[in-house]
Amino acid sequence: MTDLDVIPTLSPEEIAEIEHEVALIPRRDSAAIDALMIVQRHRGWVSDSSLKAIAALLEMSPEELDGIATFYNLIYRQPVGEQVILFCDSVSCWLRNGDGVKEKLSELLGIDYGQTTADGRYTLIPVPCLGACDRAPVMMVGDDLHTHLDDCDLASLLTCEANHD
Amino acid sequence: MATISIDGKHYEVEDGSNVLEAVLGLGLDLPYFCWHPALGSVGSCRQCALLQFQNADDDRGRIVMGCMTQVTDGMLLSLSDSRAKAFRADVIEALMTNHPHDCPVCAEGGECHLQDMTVMSGHRDRRYNGLKNTHVNQDLGPLIHHEMNRCIACYRCVRYYQDYAGGTDLAALGSHDHVYFGRHEDGTLESEFAGNLVEVCPTGVFTDKSLVHDYTRKWDLQSAPSICTACGVGCNTIPGERYGRLKRIHNRYHHEVNGYFLCDRGRFGGGWVNSERRLRQAGAQMSDGCFAPLTQEQAVQRLQTLCGADSKLWGIGSPRASLESNWMLRSLVGDEHYCPGFGPEQDALRAVMTALTEGGVATATLPEIEAADLVIIVGEDITQSAPRIALALRQSVRNLGLEQAANLGVQHWQDAAVRNIAQNTRSPLVEWVSASTRLADVATKTLTLAPTDIARMGFALAAALDEGAGVDGLTADQTTHVVQLASRVLGAKRPLIVSGCSSHDASVVYAAQALAAAVARRHAATRVVYTVPECNSVGVGLLKGTHKDLADVVAAAEAGHIDTLVVLENDLYRRMKKEWVTRLAAAVPNIVVLDALETSTCDAAQLVLPVASFTEAEGTLVNAEGRAQRFYPVVSDVGERLPGWQWLRLAAVGRANRSDLETLMHLDQVLEAIAAEQPQLDGIRAAAPDASYRDRVGLKAARQPHRYSGRTAMYADKTLHEPKTPVDEDAPLSFSMEGESHALPSALRSFVWDPGWNSNQSLHKFQAEIGGALKGGSAGIRLIEPKGQPAPGAYSVPAAFEPPLSGWYLTAQYRIFGSEEMSAHAPGILAVSAGPTLILSADDALQLALAADDGVTLITADGSVDCEVTVDPALPKGTVGFVVGHAHLLDLRAGETVSLEKKPGLMRRSEVIASDGVRVYG
Amino acid sequence: MTDRPLTQNLRPDGSPVWLADYEANGGYQGLRRVLTDSTPEACQQVVKDARLRGRGGAGFPTGMKWSFVPMGEKAGLGPKYLIANADEMEPGTFKDRIILEQDPHQLIEGMILAAYAIQADVAYIFLRGEYTVAAQRVAAAIKECYVAGYLGQDIRGSGYSLELHLHRSAGRYICGEETALINALEGKRANPRPKPPFPQVSGLWGRPTIVNNVETLCNITHILTRGADWYQSLGLGADSGTKLFGASGNVKTPGVWELPMGTPIREILENHAGGMHDGYQLRGFLPGGGSTDFLTPDHLDLAMDYDVIGKAGSRMGTGTMIVLDDRHCPIGMVRNLARFFAHESCGFCTPCRDGIPWIVQLLDRFEQGLATEEDLALLEEKARFIGGIGNTHCALAPGAMEPVLSALKYFREDFEQHISGRGCRYQSLGRGH
């Protein structure tokens, strides 16, 4: 059952953004995915307490919401690094040495898929085809798409990303 | 009807049904998982595949799912085509890739649909040699055991739990081959109907925790047809026994009473029969207050002495004792000295009896409840008082959505499609209740009112429908509500009025009767449901006679008119205030208590006699709809215990005028005698076949399945001699595995089993149509049918509720776990029951600076009691609610004015679990 | 010069075309004219006559799809919905991205017209979550439209009103399936729904709903402004219009090109994609994304038409080809795809949820040199079980098995070699470029 006491876990900004989505649709619980993404945008991931707070706000149970949260690839129910690297592991990138680049990247960062660097900067996650196959292999660092990775210096790319922020 | 061809043979089947249902209905085998007759089709498991051909020239055909394919006239199908069979084997093989093959240690084993379907599909050799996915299991509370690794992801659990039962705390989590069915975190499942997961799950993911911890292989359970004693609905059950212990209770399908499902109180509440507090031997109280054990023979002698010819004998019966026991007591003591032993609900119950017998409106059967298109609940938190009815009401609100789906040509069994079309559409369900209820999530309108105001709403709506004079003094909102609701009632086709005893206020029931009569004058299809608190409240109510009140008994005692008082299966502290029990005990020289459990009343008795429980005796109970139903013993060795009526029969030996009772040796004789004396109960004889029943080959119905093992070795550790099969002269059932298992009257069916179908899914083999009546007939018999015109009854509209000038008006609130006396002694139920609870409105909580779980002292004219606070924002102003039946709150009465004081430092519920796991609260 | 209506506005630098430039190129003129001069029924008829087929993969005739939407009072109370399926997640597909990023108004205008034709009240763009640039640009374009009065109440005085919202997906391939997409928009788990009812009758929140692919919707403006005959004349063969074709893999110039329907494959791969990289030979290709059957060099002269490709044993799909060369293992490629589909299965039905991971496990055995003849037989048996039409709840699993089954057909010797050679010989070839 919903627990109204947990709503204050969310910030006024988060609540306002969620309520904006709710206002556009006929059912509160239909804003579930948007709400999860909003909170994740603010906090990087969706913790158990965030989950409960969102569920209460949308008048649904944590179970119902977690069923949705755990269904989708881009909702993180575990803490992630400051930047999430979405590395394309699909077919066009594979044909263009995606595996080789991924090995280099893993070596550079010292992490495999699903892991976060010790300094908390990066989490590496595989992602299905990023729709930039003509520029394969590709990955996203945060919101930015990086292409032609086979020819680029991953270390300087990540440094640029860091400076870019 | 449609004609379809299966493997070249022609069959007549129901038009509009689905192929799987049709195939099963024809008695053919087609394996399935996700489909469930009560849940419909979603097409997820893909197991019920068969081949469909376009026409006679089509020799290729295509794979279709039986459950998702609508029957059409002339359709050509094949079950046995090798491609269909190979596909079904492939599905099982895929399902089993992650299954742990842990059948030997699985509580589902031997009664497992997955095992059956695996064998039926012909999959045998595992070819998958990769790793299996594994899951962490959850603690789902004291009732249900979770073993996710056995899951085959059929989605039945969440479809049952969320969609059917309205639970919100069990969900499908994750995706692809990592779907997980569980809670967001460990914790007790919140739904009152969670226990049905045990039967809904086709494998061993959700199993009965009490069975897991006290395990017996399913085929070694001795069973008997039984009736749930945990409320007045009278759900049909199958208790399973081994070595004299109740191991589990399963649902026994009854088309008109409980269908496929039970509530958790019924399923897990029977555990009290294994309780340490069971009376095992007769005892006589000695001068030091201790009881000296008596043999059965000594006890009978003592009983006969106390009930001797000259003794001025009175008796207090019980709404939780069988009709036979109550009748025997009444016969023993004489009508004018018999009190049925009703408690504070007595006035409301008597009003219900009048409404049932004279109201002229038929009581709804389960399918009729589910088919209602408008429901008005008058003063009942039905989930707490008659849970199975609430589960049916949850289905009734779907009817408008089902209508929308039908308009788009979508059949009712297309479950996901119907729900997608219906979205949040609900048929009207209006509640007038005295506190928030567990149906609020599906109610289209909930008004929380004091009981007298609830009654006034009922009278007002009745008046609006009759175009008669209204009720004075309604608020503007109430008036608008009545006007709007009246027009919805006129537009409805199958309205249902639900009311009952829970408010302990007869005016509420009078209002419901008046309303039902007004509605019934508009719609012949109008139905009513009245709840009663106990399993035989109506049965006792139907016994004709003077029916003395408990106050009359106390008065008689204090006037010296009672030498011996026989108390039958009744804890008087639950019926009258403590002070009255004390006075009664002081005034009566001899009290004989017959009961199954040790109660406080036993302490006042000179003689205590152990009574056989529902698992140890046969008898008849009459449920809230007036249906007489028989229960049979499942335990053969009952030791020193006797059914209540047997003790009382023996007591009659010395009664000069009733020595005839002694000759009623067998249940059938008692039933004859009751029918002869009380024509309104004549039907009870036909409620089930009598003990002379024999099947085609001259055998009684079997209590043991064909696979029952160890019959000759079970007690080999005690004796080398093979035990003789126990004889049960009173029942048409034997303690044996010999006997007919198919062509049985439904009232005698102890288990469902069919070759290849070892789980309860075999039920369809015994139904005349899927989800419909059983081939063996409808068990039990209704004793009450409406006669005459809808009658509003004699009533006067009560005055509007006025909050007390100081203090609060106390309202009765039932809880599914804790309000009922016997089930509260089952360990699982005890663990989920709340402490002594006082329900406060949010305003009052604020004013008293109280929050949930804080302590509060409640002060009445008689004394005070400490409670835990629960806050209910919807509670009507000026009222507070107390939990009926809690051992600490037995002296509270609905309608009393009480005052409250904050009680600092009260030990909270979570803090009073003693180290041995037994709660300090009684 | 052939008409290139879908890409006519695109700039070489890939910068977005904002409203002013879009209007300057003639944008929204068609909208204004249609909204005042044409009835919804007439619009539907033109699209039907144009024989536009859905560009998302299935190729269902768009006009026919629309015609199932109840119109007028038959629709009952409540809104109707139009949804642009911009959840581009099919492996090897990158065609909608260019429109979403570079010419968002083309989509919006098409949507408004499509919405008008079915008299929708609310429209959604269901956009892939990872398309961050597209999200910003589409959102900005929508804002421009509200300001300019192309969206909202009484669009340009036409009396027609439409709300348009952008929904960013939280990521699942299955959301590309229209009923799964609808569940996702309703905030639920994106399990596909049973049909019937079809979304046209009962879709989003139970109301009549049309889901069309981005490219499909972009065609609408051009069809309604220039007519069905013109549109039909664009195609070289049986199918109408132009199509965004693409190629990826080890070709010299991978990319997306707008070409007439019916363009020969050879022209796409050799002229536009520039042929294979030096040192690479063409072994085969998936003509329309990761869920289509392999074709081989023998098929190069086929026209990219729905029925032609269908007859050759594959599907047009999204029209973006994934090219397999001779230095990459066909089994490795199929395994990569199968793993994708196994992960993207929603988990609802058995063959897909439990079957595809088994395919991956078997393909792993080939790659690891553990496979036997029994594994090969089992692989084929299981792929047929999973891939059979009607065997599963939706089309994901049959699509997933198309590369597997066609690889077994065309590259069987590779499977045999993996068994006899106890491993993958390609792994020693290296993949240098």
Number of domains forming the structure of chain A: 2
Candidates B884, B813, B761, B687; CA nearest to B257 is: B687
Q: Which percentage of chain B shows pLDDT scores above 70? A: 98
User: How confident is residue A151, by pLDDT bands cut at 50, 70 and 90?
Assistant: confident
Q: Where are the domains of chain B?
A: 2-80, 298-345+540-739+774-781, 346-531, 808-911
CATH entry, B346-531, from 3.30.420.40, 1.10.3720.10, 3.40.228.10, 3.40.50.300: 3.40.228.10
Residue A75 resides in a domain: no
Cα Rg, chain C, nearest whole Å: 22
Residue A3 pLDDT: 59
**pLDDT above 60 for B863:** yes
**pLDDT above 70 for B166:** yes
Residues A110 and A141 in one domain: yes
pLDDT digits (tens, 9 = 90+) for B668-713: 999 999 999 999 999 999 999 999 999 999 999 999 999 999 888 8
Closest partner CB to A92 (pick from C249, C256, C346): C249
Residue A90 resides in a domain: yes
Q: What is the CATH number of the domain that holds A151?
A: 3.40.30.10
Q: What is the nearest CA distance from B17 to chain C, expressed in angstroms?
A: 16
Amino acid at the residue B501: C
pLDDT digits (tens, 9 = 90+) for B201-247: 999 999 999 999 999 999 999 999 999 999 999 999 999 999 999 99
Give the mutation candidate from A89, A129, A145 for the C interface (greatest C CB count, under 10 A): A129
Mean pLDDT of B736-746: 89
Contact A63 B190 (CB under 8 A): no
**pLDDT above 70 for B4:** yes
- Across B705-728, b (16+ Cβ under 10 Å) vs e yields beebeebeeeeeeeeeeeeeeeeb
Residue C1 pLDDT: 46
Residues A57 and A106 in one domain: no
Closest partner CB to A91 (pick from C190, C290, C325): C290
- Mapping DSSP onto H, E and C, the string for B636-674 reads CCCCCCECHHHHHHHHHHHCHHHHHHHHCCCHHHHHHHH
Domains of chain C, each with CATH number or no CATH: 19-234 (3.40.50.11540), 245-325 (3.10.20.600), 330-428 (1.20.1440.230)
**pLDDT above 50 for B126:** yes
User: How confident is residue C44, by pLDDT bands cut at 50, 70 and 90?
Assistant: very high
Local structure of C310: helix, strand or coil: helix
Residue A77 resides in a domain: no
**pLDDT above 90 for C113:** yes
Q: What is the CATH number of the domain that holds A21?
A: 1.10.10
The CATH fold assigned to B298-345+540-739+774-781 is: Rossmann fold (3.40.50)
**pLDDT above 60 for B909:** no
Residues A58 and A90 in one domain: no
Helix axes C330-344, C356-367, angle to 10 degrees: 150
Q: Report whether C295 contacts C287 (CB < 8 A).
A: yes
Residue B919 pLDDT: 38
**pLDDT above 60 for B913:** no
Q: Report whether B163 contacts B415 (CB < 8 A).
A: yes
Residue C422 is given by DSSP the state: T
User: How confident is residue B721, by pLDDT bands cut at 50, 70 and 90?
Assistant: confident
- What residues of chain B have any CB closer than 8 angstroms to a CB in chain A? 162, 168-175, 180, 183-185, 190, 423-424
Please name every residue paired with B855 in a beta bridge, in sequence order, or none if there are none. Answer: B868
Residue A95 resides in a domain: yes
Q: What is the nearest CA distance from C95 to chain A, expressed in angstroms?
A: 8
Mean pLDDT of C312-324: 97
Residue B124 pLDDT: 86
**CA gap C302, B333 in Å, rounded:** 101
Residues A44 and A93 in one domain: no
Residue B719 pLDDT: 84
Q: Which residues of A touch B184 (CB under 8 A)?
A: 48, 51, 61-63, 65-66
Chain A contact present for C74, CB below 8 A? no
**pLDDT above 90 for B148:** yes
Q: What is the nearest CA distance from C42 to chain A, expressed in angstroms?
A: 30
**Number of other residues whose CB lies within 10 A of the CB of residue C74:** 8
Residue A6 pLDDT: 73
91-150 in chain A: CB under 8 A from chain C: 91-92, 94-97, 100, 127-136, 140, 143-145, 150
Decide whether B298-345+540-739+774-781 matches B808-911 in CATH topology: no
Contacts of C406 (CB under 8 A, 6+ apart): C293, C294, C295, C313, C314
- Domain closes at, from A34, A69, A104: A69
C304, C306, C310, C316: CA torsion to nearest 10: 60
Residue C360 pLDDT: 98
Q: What is the nearest CA distance from A8 to chain C, expressed in angstroms?
A: 22
**CA gap B594, C206 in Å, rounded:** 60
Q: Report whether B558 contacts B583 (CB < 8 A).
A: yes
Residues A89 and A112 in one domain: yes
Query: Hey, CA dihedral for A36, A42, A43, A44, is it positive or negative?
Result: positive
CA closest to C174 among chain B residues:
B176
CATH entry, B808-911, from 2.20.28.120, 2.40.170.20, 2.40.40.20, 3.20.20.190: 2.40.40.20
**Number of other residues whose CB lies within 10 A of the CB of residue B663:** 10
Amino acid at the residue C188: K
CA closest to B182 among chain A residues:
A63
Q: For residue A35, give its domain range.
A: 4-69
Residue A159 pLDDT: 85
pLDDT digits (tens, 9 = 90+) for B594-641: 999 999 999 999 999 999 999 999 999 999 999 999 999 999 999 999
B283, B284, B285, B287: CA torsion to nearest 10: -140
By the 10 Å C-beta count (0-12 exposed, 13-18 middle, 19+ buried), C422 is classed as: exposed
Which chains neighbour C (Cβ–Cβ under 8 Å, 3 or more pairs)?
A, B
Residue B285 is given by DSSP the state: E
**pLDDT above 50 for B47:** yes
Residues A55 and A93 in one domain: no
Q: What is the nearest CA distance from B168 to chain A, expressed in angstroms?
A: 6
Q: Chain-wide mean pLDDT for chain B?
A: 94
Residue B917 pLDDT: 39
Residues A94 and A144 in one domain: yes
How many Cβ pairs closer than 8 A exist between chain A and C?
Answer: 144
Closest partner CB to A63 (pick from B171, B174, B424): B171
Q: Which residues of C touch A145 (CB under 8 A)?
A: 132-133
Amino acid at the residue B638: V
Residue B843 pLDDT: 93
**pLDDT above 60 for C432:** no
By the 10 Å C-beta count (0-12 exposed, 13-18 middle, 19+ buried), C270 is classed as: middle
Residues A15 and A48 in one domain: yes
- Is B2-80 CATH 3.10.20.740? yes
Q: What is the nearest CA distance from A98 to chain B, expressed in angstroms?
A: 24
Give the mutation candidate from A70, A90, A97, A102 for the C interface (greatest C CB count, under 10 A): A90
**CA gap B657, C178 in Å, rounded:** 82
Q: Report whether B392 contacts B529 (CB < 8 A).
A: no
CA distances from B791 to A133, B157, B498, B515 (A): 78, 44, 16, 10
Residue A18 pLDDT: 97
pLDDT digits (tens, 9 = 90+) for B501-535: 999 999 999 999 999 999 999 999 999 999 999 99
Q: Which percentage of chain A shows pLDDT scores above 90? A: 85
Which tokens in the block code for residue C393? Answer: 């709840």
**pLDDT above 60 for B364:** yes
Mean pLDDT of B477-491: 97
Which chains neighbour A (Cβ–Cβ under 8 Å, 3 or more pairs)?
B, C
Residues A124 and A158 in one domain: yes
Contact C357 B45 (CB under 8 A): no
* Chain center to CA of C369: 36
**ipTM of model:** 0.95
- Domain closes at, from A40, A69, A98: A69
Residue A120 resides in a domain: yes
Residue A164 pLDDT: 58
